[in-house]
Chains A and B, each alone.
Chain A
């Protein structure tokens, strides 16, 4: 265990009421008193962890100081996603902060302190009529709970700031602590009224009130920050009493029983904080998980407990000169920070020998699934959290990008669209941007319309902040003044106009309607997307090769089976009918009349007629009764009962080739362009190119069917390579690869992958028009997406084999869409790299790289892929990277 009290983390000696480590572990926030205001400070963690960084002047210590609260700040809390910081204080306000991209600037009048990061107040939550003492984000970041000396807890809708959706009334004293159940079912509060109340998040009604352990308590603490164990089983209160001594009461989720507590502190307990990780002694001790809890007290000491031990792991006495006020564990689980009324903070680092091994997220999820039948909310956070757009270009694809119904989540969507809309509005210049305009008011005084400085877009929250880049400190240019400049760059335009003061009198600026429109537009888009999603499915997946000319088959549903006792194949051959007719294209039809003309005793000839628009174009006679007929625009083929095949030109009925002798009676005949395919009763399949007089395929289809004859051939299509695509009644579709000398499975409508995916509704027509099906079998959204990706992949490989560029592209985009949605950056990167090709021609990879796929230029595809990726803002960096490379490639 390492213990450090960084002297430079200070609010100029004034009390620090709250501390919270950012989820990414790179920074932490403190809240407390400022000079004559409340103060929130964001600090860099690196100089605390590493001495080297502390001594390096290029590593900033203070990242941002916000003196915006009018009075003391009692609580600072990062959202689980790390995107927002919430602060609440004696000014009754809760402020929500977000990182923006303004370059670092000197804190004006701050005695030379420089803000490395710029955090901007994006929303102010007003409603409490008294000081705000504690805050808590719900596990999914959807809600923020605030507790106040006005005896209430307020629940705020963080997807629609600053909406207050509930006021939890019931406490009769100052509410000094808030804790969310990690499952998201409850929120608990502790108050000076000597109660802990648990509220249900479903209806915000009180679930229970616990009073017994608090009966002897006096209101001696500034805060009562209770906390919930990471497995959700225990709620641990702050100040409680047992046998005259101060304790932290353990309240069990099961029946809200109160028969255990943490004993040992000599004065009231102010704050309790669980490590958000579950732990175990070592990898060998599977199943024996425990939790770790830090407790801070007015007795100036800090104790760390493992739920597997009866005594505390460690007690640190005299850590501070005054009451401990807040505790925060890092997400990684081995770092703890505490702050005190004495104005200092403490940093404690543990190792895995002391605390134990961290139970993996997956295991924790499984545990949650077992215990509560659902996963914790926290895992969904990443997806739901709205991401910030870094580049103005991004707004375009966001607004009009290829419709991606499923990218925006039902509830998270509102947030991102709203914030997006408001960002859009920010770019609108609200005043002159190049000059200040000077006029006179009615009473003759000077009035200046200032230069509007268009803001930069907000920066992505966590990754891109200062910490990753030490040199950034050097980049920060103190904007603070010096007198060297003799002249401002601002142009002063004096106008001989008389203006009335006030915002309404604007003469030169455009008012705000654009932002209203943007917002409206967004919600319309969103609405229409929702509607689309509820539309019924329109089409089913089917494999069709493009450009196939019309053709017809005499038979449907051919049954091929092997008799169980022998290897001999028994396929019911086509039966001889007296007469039948086969419609064909261009108004033609072919009529067959067996035994139409008797030429002798029991000797008959059989007639094939081509009928065009009701008139007979030609007649021919054949010697054997015809059992099947099929035609294309070139060629009509008939099979006869003597196992022969005859082909005639459609135009005049002339025979194209002599009769082909088949190995057995035909069961399936298909003509397409100049290809004729036949399946015989023996399961033999032949395809001939009639014009070239070549065989393109000769193989058996027996392997594609099963032995009991339940699988029947339902359709056959011949591709322009002369190879067939066969569909069977078991929903499988195959094609043959002569290169590989085998049948390839193209599609399987019953494929569990497909059913597990979102893509049942995707049509092969190449549009994303139909939305994903709601009737999915797989409930787990993640697996579903993986399924969808795998299925799209399957499709792509099939379509590559089929040489169908348009559909290939469709499925590629589908795959990219899902991968982008899932944030699979690595897979996307490798996909993009392949599409981009080698940037340096000499590179090793370049030799095997094909610039095209299925006749499509890979770089063009990449362009489209990037557009699809652009629909997920999180991919913007990747996108930008490849866009630039693509641009470079096209320029040279």
Chain B
């Protein structure tokens, strides 16, 4: 059973300028004292085409985590425009919030992100070279996609179980990403 349950994530400062930092206020419950820190990441999916454009915006360790409910604000710098393919700068993409324990990811929260120009004229006729300073970012905060993975929470790494669970994990990833992307096409 998962020892950590994410109870809520509030997206702060949204919508906002593309260049503003991402801020998530995360509430989670922990069923037992954790011996090690949780590792949270914010990943910006630069392009639906390839994972190579994923940018890890920030990684933060959260601890100590005793039994009980906790909350914190995770703030990360915006993605670097230079790493985003020109074709993907404007439009819908995804930002992922993940959490791992002992290097095993156990939850992944995905949000759709819509980047568009605030200026009506730019919206009509987007420039060939994206003007990131004029882009507005809107995270679809009301519709998070949550995927949970089985991980080994115990102190001792039992042989056998870990392997099986890793398989599940990677399956889960693909499913998650695929479903997000599918829905993106609809949008």
Contact = CB atoms under 8 A, between A and B. Distances in A.
Q: Which 6 A-B pairs have the closest CB atoms?
A: A109-B146, A483-B14, A450-B70, A450-B72, A453-B69, A430-B66
Interface string B104-135: 00000100000000000000000000000000
Given A108-B146, A447-B60, A502 B37 contact: yes
B142 A481 contact: yes
Interface string A115-157: 0000001001000000000000000000000000000000000
A448 B62 contact: yes
A52 to B, nearest CB: 31
A490 interface: yes
B11 A481 contact: yes
Given A453-B69, A487-B12, A488-B73, A482 B142 contact: yes
Nearest to B63: A501
B10 A488 contact: yes
A277 interface: no
A485 B12 CA distance: 6
Interface string A628-665: 00000000000000000000000000000000000000
B141 A482 contact: yes
B68 interface: yes
A492 B109 CA distance: 23
A487 B70 CA distance: 18
A455 B69 contact: yes
A326 B115 CA distance: 51
A509 B63 contact: no
Given A445-B59, A447-B37, A480-B8, A109 B64 contact: no
Contacts of A502: 35-37, 63-64
A451 interface: yes
B34 interface: yes
A506 B71 contact: no
A534 interface: no
A501 B62 CA distance: 8
A452 interface: yes
Interface in A486-542: 486-488, 490, 492, 501-506, 509, 512
Given A68-B5, A445-B61, 16 more contacts: A37-B148, A93-B1, A108-B8, A109-B109, A109-B144, A445-B60, A447-B62, A448-B61, A452-B66, A481-B9, A492-B73, A501-B36, A502-B36, A503-B34, A503-B35, A503-B64
B27 interface: yes
B173 interface: no
Contacts of A93: 1
Contact of B6 (A36, A108, A441): A108
A503 B60 contact: no
Interface string A57-90: 0000000000111100000000000000000000
Contacts of A578: none
B19 interface: no
Which bracket fits the contact residues of B? 35 or more
Contacts of B70: 431, 450-453
A91 interface: yes
A453 B61 CA distance: 19
B54 interface: no
B141 A451 contact: no
Contacts, number: 151
Contacts of A501: 36-37, 61, 63
Interface string B1-36: 110011111111111100000010101000101111
Contacts of A729: none
Contacts of A69: 1
9 contacts: A431-B64, A448-B62, A449-B63, A450-B62, A451-B71, A454-B68, A483-B12, A492-B73, A503-B36
Contacts of A37: 148
A737 interface: no
Nearest to B142: A482
A93 B3 CA distance: 14
B148 to A, nearest CB: 7
Nearest to B36: A502
Interface in B129-187: 139, 141-142, 144-148, 150, 172
A106 interface: yes
B162 to A, nearest CB: 14
A488 to B, nearest CB: 5
A657 B132 CA distance: 119
A453 B72 contact: no
Interface of B is mostly: strand
Nearest to B139: A483
Interface of A: 36-37, 67-70, 91, 93, 95, 102, 105-106, 108-109, 121, 124, 426, 430-431, 436, 441, 445-455, 479-483, 485-488, 490, 492, 501-506, 509, 512
A430 B109 CA distance: 27
Contact of B64 (A105, A426, A481, A505): A505
Contacts of B64: 431, 449, 502-506, 509
A483 B11 contact: yes
B8 A488 contact: no
A105 B63 contact: no
A445 B9 CA distance: 23
Nearest to B141: A483
A450 B61 contact: no
B88 interface: no
Contacts of A492: 73, 75
Contacts of B35: 502-504
A109 B5 CA distance: 11
A102 B29 CA distance: 12
Residue among B16, B25, B70 with the highest chain A CB neighbour number at 10 A: B70
B36 A36 contact: no
A447 B63 contact: yes
A431 B109 CA distance: 25
Contacts of A506: 64
B80 to A, nearest CB: 18
A490 B12 CA distance: 12
Nearest to A509: B64
A430 B66 CA distance: 7
Contacts of B8: 105-106, 108, 479-481
A503 B68 CA distance: 14
A480 B66 CA distance: 24
B84 interface: no
B101 to A, nearest CB: 11
Residue among A91, A93, A450 with the highest chain B CB neighbour number at 10 A: A450
Nearest to A511: B66
Nearest to A437: B72
A503 B72 contact: no
Contacts of B61: 441, 445-448, 501
A91 B144 contact: no
A487 B147 CA distance: 27
A155 to B, nearest CB: 22
A37 B148 CA distance: 9
B60 A453 contact: no
Given A448-B61, A483-B14, A509 B37 contact: no
Nearest to A446: B60
Contacts of B150: 70
